[in-house]
Structure 1
Amino acid sequence: MKTFNKFNCIVALTVVLGACSVDNKLEIEVYETSADGNKLKAVTAFEGEGVASQLKLLPEQNFQTITGFGGSFTEASAYLLNQLSKENRKKIIDAYFGNEGARYSLTRTHMNSCDFSVSNYSYAPVEGDTELKHFSIEEDRDDIIPFIKEAMATSKDGFKILASPWTAPPWMKDNNDWRGGKLLPEYYDTWALFFSKYLDAYKLEGIDIWGFTVENEPLGNNNNWESMHYSPQEMTDFVKHHLGPKLEADDHDVKILGYDQNRGEELEEWVKVMFQDEASSKYFDGTAIHWYASTYDWFPESLQFAHNAAPTKHLIQSEACVDAEVPKWKDDQWYWSKEATDWGWDWAPEHEKHLHPKYAPVYRYARDIIGCLNNWVDGWIDWNMVLDTQGGPNWFKNWCVAPVIVDPEKDEVYFTPIYHTLAHFSKFIRPRAVRIGFENSDHSLMATAAKNPDGSIVVVLLNQDTKAKNFELIMGERTQHISISAQAIQTVVVKKPTNTN
């Protein structure tokens, strides 16, 4: 069988491998992204060298139902899209939300400003306005709202939006500052009203908000940018006595996710309080988490702990990015190389430095998503969808990397390998898919699998080795020999058989 040319990047086409008349062959489509240059390329032939391992699918073993995958509508991304030509703006939105693109199904946005805003702002700027008579989302009308509406018009299946505040307006806080401090108790009801008014205002724009996180990073960020602190008990009490009852009274059908910071010991401490009894957990629909505690560890123990604390609730990864880095422009190999550093490389406490070694961005993304899915996470959201060549705009100059980088002055767009990495999951594992079990004889080949609502089964694999790998994909009595290139991500779509064993 003739092998494919790894450097011949073509538009992914549907390819059926294995004759349908042969009962023991799986009918599959295979797409690959690799360090050699494949970008979601349809694979039509496989190399057969080396001993093949076995990957046995167990569709009768069912785990969590998938909510979705996607990225975030930030002011920074929307501001940059406004500077591009109509053609490039459409190209990016199509790539994220179009049926031929990544088909994002779960997204996030910020309420009030965040570090990836052009400036500090609040929808409730008037001090002492406890009834929020001057509440206004005017700040979002030129950028975030048009971005969301164009995405909605582009998306065939639609997508969910999770909204998060970085801080209440300074006048509601004990330090009267955008950064740090706590919400004053006398403004708890006003702050709960803020969430309700936000839902109403966006509804009037034709935009439904699916869920909230109560506070982005409630443990704080060293007062670098917009933030507000809660203890686990303070957040639980706010939701239990103020936010939950207010949204219920105003007849809002919206999810509330608690915590919204890093995995690890802190996550375990928060879910203990959030879900300690029925009264405390009543208004929490789940937990939101971030990945910044390590560049390689997805903390399976704490994810399992969080799931066991609330097995019927959501566990959603709400933010991740290559942080503390200026993007590499049109240099695909850098994203496959173990040269990236994160905030912890320079600033983590000495006893935590081992958690923050250099890493390859593509591997970090693929490892984390696979690790999260295999440990009960049902949604995974990237941070900014679009940034510039500096890694901004960001009013605090907290430079980061996005899957799509643009040069607005030259009207140029660069789809980094991170974009294709995310698409291996978001494009093929659809909302309401159910993660299924599998047995993998090659533990160096990372894998996860899910069954879509249409009956197809999706397997996503990561090969970090410098050599290609061969494996037999097995489901019941049916098999298919497959090879995955060196340093590659691969998505295998197993078509629903016309008859089953």
Structure 2
Amino acid sequence: MNTLFRSLIIIGLFCSCSTENSSSTETDSSSPSENSQTDFVITGRKSVVYTTASNSELRLANTNTLSFEAAAQPLENEVSVFVNPHVKFQSLVGIGGAITDASAEVFAKLPPEKQAEFLKAYYDINDGIGYSLCRTPIHSCDFSSESYTYIEEGDAELSTFSIDHDKAYKIPMIKRAIEAAGGELMLYASPWSPPAFMKDNNNMLQGGKLLPEYADAWALYYTKFIKAYEAEGMPIWGITIQNEPMATQRWESCIYTAEEERDFLKNHLGPTMEREGLGDKNIIVWDHNRDLINHRANVIFEDPDAAKYAWGVGFHWYETWTGGTPMFENLGIIKDAFPDVNLMFTEGCQEGFTQERYQFWAHAERYGRSMINDFNQGTRGWTDWNILLDQNGGPNHVGNFCFAPIHGDTDSQELIYTPSYYYIGHFSKFIRPGASRVSTASSRSPILSTSFLNENGSLITVVMNQSDQDIEYKLYVDSEAVTVTIPAHAIQTHVVG
């Protein structure tokens, strides 16, 4: 067991939280709702503070319990975080990560005691970080040991459809994850490419497009996947139409223009899902970066015949490949234009794996920065990429090796917990499905923050310090406040019960 995680268990730093385990699937509006002042009363409450900090042993550590007291007018020379729990925005559907072929193959190579530790670390709400959702690929992606589909090549009738391939590793792991999460885990699925014969380049790799004559067969393929997985006891919450539909990759990929995705949704996938009795499943469009997301949303959601089938827009964080910064504001523009459209972060990971950077703090801060900003722009769910990879950042059949929050060294049989795991945990452990985001603002740019009100009445505020200095700040809720210091390059969660 990794030293830091062992110390957490031994000295009991993980909290025991009373939480709701429900998952909300309704459509939310971005417009705030103001409830009466009786819905949340801060007087008499305390904040239990959990901290993860660089250059320290603090990892989700219980570092303080503070009592709220009447507060004076904030001053300009003070650092403040202001929370208004009476102004509510979107509800949370969940936070989690993807179970890929790579994750499942590495998991299968671990000894039983490490498998149990791993499942508890991710899915247990008391002794872990309480993941509540999961994404999984529909047949192969780059994080598979090989390319494969669920049918024999050329079978346009789908008569040979079988998920037997997934029964070796992926399905057993998903079932154990569901069990570890308490019997309920929001599961959605994404394809990286149709079978080769259905594409104009006759190749699952290197982009290409879906041939029009196979649009109905490919739409039916999604429904067969959903029914096959549900027959195995794994309920499917929904699907995304296509992973990264504007990226020609050296791995499984397929290109859709905005108009092509719109038309596939309204003329093929949506009607087929309804005809097959799956009209209640949620369909997510785009599933790519924040840079082109507004064009895709405009094209699809301005067409009512397409929009009626779509739950929302999925997005990734890789637009920074150009050298720019994350385009968080594009998410808010979607919520302004289409208030009833839901936002879901469907994938993000740190690229360019090297073992020397297992404990590289900037990777964790990338997670914290994205999660806070994405939630503050209206995002309802947040999904990390592979939940587990090996000591080489794979397996990956095209050499696209990346980081995961936890790595399993299949030689030493040890688990390696990266700082990213703990940063994600500051959200997933405490902010539970069904929680409503509430109004939050910081008075200084080095301090990022977001807040949610759980269904059990607890108020959760996450505060991140991006600077090189320790910062003392006041957390204001209504007319009361607590004063706390956050270390340099640290993240804190306030649990106000």
TM-score after normalising by structure 2: 0.87
Query: How far apart are 1:477 and its partner, in Å?
Result: 3.3
**% identity of equivalent residues:** 37
Indicate yes or no: 2:137 matched with 1:110.
yes
Query: C-alpha offsets along residues 235-258 of structure 1, whole Å, 9 cap, x if unaligned?
Result: 110110111011111111210000
Aligned to 1:485: 487
Q: 2:243 is matched by which residue type in structure 1?
A: N
Aligned to 1:41: 61
Aligned residues of 1:287 and 1:316 also touching (Cα < 8 A): yes
Aligned residues of 2:14 and 2:128 also touching (Cα < 8 A): no
Q: CA separation in 1, counterparts of 2:227 and 2:153?
A: 19
Aligned to 1:451: 453
CA separation of 1:480 and 1:300: change in aligned 2, threshold 3 A: same
Indicate yes or no: 2:341 matched with 1:277.
no
Q: In the TM superposition, what are the counterparts of 1:95-134 in structure 2 within 5 Å?
A: 95-99=121-125, 100-127=127-154, 129-134=155-160
SS at match of 1:246: helix
Aligned to 1:53: 79
Aligned to 1:441: 443
Aligned to 2:4: none
Q: CA separation in 2, counterparts of 1:108 and 1:442?
A: 35
The structure 1 residue matched to 2:181, chosen from 155, 176, 187, is 155
Aligned to 2:69: none
Question: Which shows bigger deviation, 422-431 or 273-282?
Answer: 273-282
Indicate yes or no: 2:259 matched with 1:233.
yes
Aligned residues of 1:262 and 1:292 also touching (Cα < 8 A): yes
Q: CA separation in 2, counterparts of 1:413 and 1:146?
A: 20
Query: How far apart are 1:24 and its partner, in Å?
Result: 4.9
Aligned to 2:29: none
Q: 1:39 is matched by which residue type in structure 2?
A: R
Deviating above 6 A after TM superposition, structure 1's stretches of 4 or more consecutive aligned residues are none
Aligned to 1:418: 420
Q: In the TM superposition, what are the counterparts of 1:217-228 in structure 2 within 5 Å?
A: 217-221=244-248, 223-228=249-254
Aligned residues of 1:56 and 1:474 also touching (Cα < 8 A): yes
The structure 1 residue matched to 2:313, chosen from 287, 299, 311, is 287
Indicate yes or no: 2:271 matched with 1:245.
yes
Query: How far apart are 1:106 and its partner, in Å?
Result: 1.8
Aligned residues of 2:50 and 2:64 also touching (Cα < 8 A): no
Q: 1:12 is matched by which residue type in structure 2?
A: L
Aligned residues of 2:92 and 2:381 also touching (Cα < 8 A): yes
Query: How far apart are 1:157 and its partner, in Å?
Result: 6.5
Please list every run of 5 or more consecutive structure 1 residues that lacks an aligned counterpart in the other structure. 1-7, 17-22, 337-359, 496-501
Indicate yes or no: 2:330 matched with 1:302.
yes
Query: How far apart are 1:131 and its partner, in Å?
Result: 2.2
Indicate yes or no: 2:390 matched with 1:388.
yes
The structure 2 residue matched to 1:28, chosen from 32, 47, 59, is 47
Q: CA separation in 2, counterparts of 1:465 and 1:15?
A: 30
Aligned residues of 1:15 and 1:28 also touching (Cα < 8 A): no
Q: In the TM superposition, what are the counterparts of 1:133-144 in structure 2 within 5 Å?
A: 133-144=159-170
Aligned residues of 1:327 and 1:401 also touching (Cα < 8 A): no
SS at match of 2:162: coil
Q: CA separation in 1, counterparts of 2:368 and 2:15?
A: 23
Aligned to 1:315: 343
Query: C-alpha offsets along residues 34-64 of structure 1, whole Å, 9 cap, x if unaligned?
Result: 1022100001279xxxx74222210111111
Q: In the TM superposition, what are the counterparts of 1:312-391 in structure 2 within 5 Å?
A: 312-328=340-356, 332=359, 335-336=360-361, 360-391=362-393
Aligned to 1:175: 201
Q: CA separation in 2, counterparts of 1:230 and 1:374?
A: 29
Q: 2:334 is matched by which residue type in structure 1?
A: A
Aligned residues of 2:208 and 2:254 also touching (Cα < 8 A): yes
Query: How far apart are 1:158 and its partner, in Å?
Result: 2.1
Query: C-alpha offsets along residues 374-427 of structure 1, whole Å, 9 cap, x if unaligned?
Result: 111111111001111111100001010000011112211111111111111111
CA separation of 1:15 and 1:152: change in aligned 2, threshold 3 A: closer
Q: 1:32 is matched by which residue type in structure 2?
A: T
Aligned residues of 2:46 and 2:65 also touching (Cα < 8 A): no
Q: CA separation in 2, counterparts of 1:432 and 1:455?
A: 11
CA separation of 1:402 and 1:314: change in aligned 2, threshold 3 A: same
Q: 1:31 is matched by which residue type in structure 2?
A: Y
SS at match of 2:319: coil
SS at match of 1:459: strand
Aligned residues of 2:369 and 2:448 also touching (Cα < 8 A): yes
Query: C-alpha offsets along residues 3-42 of structure 1, whole Å, 9 cap, x if unaligned?
Result: xxxxx864325599xxxxxx85531211111102210000
Aligned residues of 2:95 and 2:132 also touching (Cα < 8 A): yes
Aligned to 1:460: 462
Please list every run of 5 or more consecutive structure 2 residues that lacks an aligned counterpart in the other structure. 1-6, 18-41, 67-76
Indicate yes or no: 2:78 matched with 1:77.
no
SS at match of 1:491: strand
Query: C-alpha offsets along residues 56-84 of structure 1, whole Å, 9 cap, x if unaligned?
Result: 21011111111111100000010001111
Aligned residues of 2:97 and 2:385 also touching (Cα < 8 A): yes
Q: In the TM superposition, what are the counterparts of 1:392-411 in structure 2 within 5 Å?
A: 392-411=394-413
Q: CA separation in 1, counterparts of 2:339 and 2:265?
A: 20
Query: How far apart are 1:313 and its partner, in Å?
Result: 2.2
Query: How far apart are 1:137 and its partner, in Å?
Result: 0.6
Q: CA separation in 1, counterparts of 2:328 and 2:246?
A: 21
Q: 2:57 is matched by which residue type in structure 1?
A: G
Aligned residues of 2:193 and 2:252 also touching (Cα < 8 A): yes
SS at match of 2:190: strand
SS at match of 1:422: helix
Aligned residues of 2:14 and 2:60 also touching (Cα < 8 A): no
What CA RMSD, in Å, does the superposition of the two structures yield over aligned residues?
Answer: 1.9
Aligned to 2:238: 211
Aligned residues of 1:112 and 1:122 also touching (Cα < 8 A): yes
Q: 1:263 is matched by which residue type in structure 2?
A: R
Query: C-alpha offsets along residues 69-110 of structure 1, whole Å, 9 cap, x if unaligned?
Result: 110000001000111100001111111111221111121100
Aligned residues: 450
